[in-house]
Structure 1
């Protein structure tokens, strides 16, 4: 089913976006209009599923979700038709999907996984969460209170969609992406009823605009930020990387008219969307600093002094990548970043030269990177978990 955001004439601009939309419209009015219109929209298909599931006891509805994600609509003959139709639709990839074309991007990601995850954590997640999407996460507490777990979950999706076959129907990247879509719909349902949510100012919780913005950031912007750390890819690798994220974005419910087709389109959406967004709020400040201070724990540093030292290093790299203006708005510690990225690029360039001379050493390094990548991602022995939240606040809902 094709999903599209409504035209600006159909919907009022949330008050928090009025000033930014005016500035963005001077550069690209059509895209700025589409973006702010989508702040009033969720995911109509997934939201309709949640509206139906709330009529059923969770002991019945949760197994439908699990079986549907794992096995498809044929595994849930007793489920409501709207849920079966959802899984029937999501099971069929769009005609532009070419899974063979994903392999080049997957290889490029794993060849540089350490730098990609570094850029993801130190810059792209921070920039993604500097938008008003932070309001949703702050109210629910799903990153603020459970930062380590959430950071590992974000890392895990990144890892899984770039495993060969990860976006096949039975791949964990596919399943996690669909799970994220349904969790977003459930949280949207809960927050829409919460007195803490200001719809007039902020629009719809976890809106189509924010899911599209995040997907653009995690793809085109991630390529840009990884290049700042010394990652070099061919045009074919970059295009393949973008197609992996384009399909992941489709699975997560991004409307077709906000789903990029290229790196250029993703960066354009990110730029215009960032202009439409208001300056970072206190919630964004809490979220950004919480993510950075969670990273050393995720990396396995338990001694307080070592954790503080690594957090300070991440702050320095992050400031160098996102720029002083945004870093100051997010209340980063003041520090000089001169030469920070140059040193990292030189180090990575020297490693590439060494591994070209000694392929066996390069193979051991890639194996080590893969193990590190798994250690900073959330894995459970029982496999992926698909339980949907039952409360808006994470502390009332337990671990997800």
Structure 2
């Protein structure tokens, strides 16, 4: 498929033409074509699961992930073996030590990660086609806070240093999130409401790539904004972390971040090619601003029903509104990076002191720093009694409880 053969949409054609004025053609082509491609390997596996006895496919998946595959080669469907074999036996280019180092460096300063995480989630809502899986699945509007908690738990699992090797907890969680996407995609394709010409395929490869690039680029941008310089080799290790995660998630090679500049080109092309904000953008964003953090859960449980109507919207607006303003102003090429935003000014001073101590060796190793910084997000989630795990694939299209 080429951009000349994708389903015709006059508005998209105009956006593609506009993107070519700002971004290299090859990036525009890959984004436009990727909107009509999906993760075919896992789609086949999920289809096979549907023909098996209740829970059989999920049991086989769990056993293959925990035993690294070989013992179950005779009982697993061909689609699952085709999916997992290259993942359980990584290609030669996979460097586990670089990926481990990338995870350590990505967690050098938790606020940069947390702002980048929030910004990446908000980006998915900002486009009138990319937001449709969230809007139609109903989970995000009614359960904005739980979606954030589940995504945060996955990020914590996937970026735990050393956890992304086959058999590791991050590896397991990432493969299961890939199944979540496939389950939602299967539901959307069969619900009779999906508009392929207008929106592309549900959870298409370009959307997956942009999400991976967001987790790569936004925290790096925050490090720059806070005057925390990362060396080129450090940035490269972080790129390898997200390249590997993208590979595990099913992002095709042509959309993986082969360099930071290439990731930026893909992201920039997508922001122009994807549809502009629509009513679903407003609904989903408002859901974040009013209910994106279940902050009342820091209180004793009997007080939750009383405090939630006040505490939840106040804290959600404070956190998500601030995150949105910082990310939007920084990402807007016509805007001014928010160097004088009060939050940024404060964090920059904290970062300056920490960087001085780090260079003096007072903060310990990169591993020591990463473990403490990860505890910032994990501690906040625990304090709010957040869900303890990423969403289970079997529950991916079932609305959760508030």
Fold shared per TM-score above 0.5 = yes
Equivalent in the alignment of 2:124 = 128
**Secondary structure in structure 1 of the residue aligned to 2:394:** coil
CA deviation vs aligned residue, 1:68-87 (integer Å, no higher than 9, x gap): 33334334332322222222
Equivalent in the alignment of 2:378 = 374
Question: Of 188, 193, 209, which residue of structure 2 is paired with 1:191?
Answer: 188
Residue 16 of structure 2 corresponds to residue 11 of structure 1: no
Residues 50 and 186 of structure 1 are in contact (CA less than 8 Å); yes or no, is this contact kept in structure 2? Answer: yes
**Unaligned segments of structure 1, at least 5 residues:** 1-5, 327-336
- Between 66-75 and 170-179, the greater mean CA deviation after superposition: 66-75
Residue 322 of structure 2 corresponds to residue 316 of structure 1: yes
Equivalent in the alignment of 2:245 = 248
Query: Over aligned residue pairs, what C-alpha RMSD do you find?
Result: 3.3
Residues 148 and 295 of structure 1 are in contact (CA less than 8 Å); yes or no, is this contact kept in structure 2? Answer: yes
Structure-2 separation of matches of 1:325 and 1:251: 27
Alpha-carbon shift at residue 301 of structure 1 (Å): 4.8
What is the aligned residue count? Answer: 380
**Unaligned segments of structure 2, at least 5 residues:** 300-306, 333-339
Residues 24 and 276 of structure 1 are in contact (CA less than 8 Å); yes or no, is this contact kept in structure 2? Answer: yes
CA deviation vs aligned residue, 1:109-132 (integer Å, no higher than 9, x gap): 3331233123321x2221233232
Alpha-carbon shift at residue 357 of structure 1 (Å): 7.0
Structure-2 separation of matches of 1:44 and 1:360: 45
- Residues 301 and 307 of structure 1: is their aligned pair in 2 closer, same or farther, counting only changes over 3 Å? farther
- TM-score normalised over the length of structure 1: 0.83
How does 1:213-292 map onto structure 2 within 5 Å? 213-292=210-289
Equivalent in the alignment of 2:347 = 344
Residues 124 and 225 of structure 1 are in contact (CA less than 8 Å); yes or no, is this contact kept in structure 2? Answer: no
Structure-1 separation of matches of 2:331 and 2:102: 32
Question: Of 10, 19, 22, which residue of structure 2 is paired with 1:24?
Answer: 19
Structure-1 separation of matches of 2:186 and 2:391: 20
How does 1:1-400 map onto structure 2 within 5 Å? 6-13=1-8, 17-27=12-22, 28-76=24-72, 77-121=74-118, 123-131=119-127, 132-297=129-294, 301=298, 303=307, 307-314=312-319, 315-323=321-329, 338-353=341-356, 359=362, 369-376=373-380, 386-389=392-395, 392=397, 394-395=398-399
Alpha-carbon shift at residue 92 of structure 1 (Å): 2.4
- Between 159-168 and 307-316, the greater mean CA deviation after superposition: 307-316
Alpha-carbon shift at residue 219 of structure 1 (Å): 0.7
Alpha-carbon shift at residue 268 of structure 1 (Å): 1.0
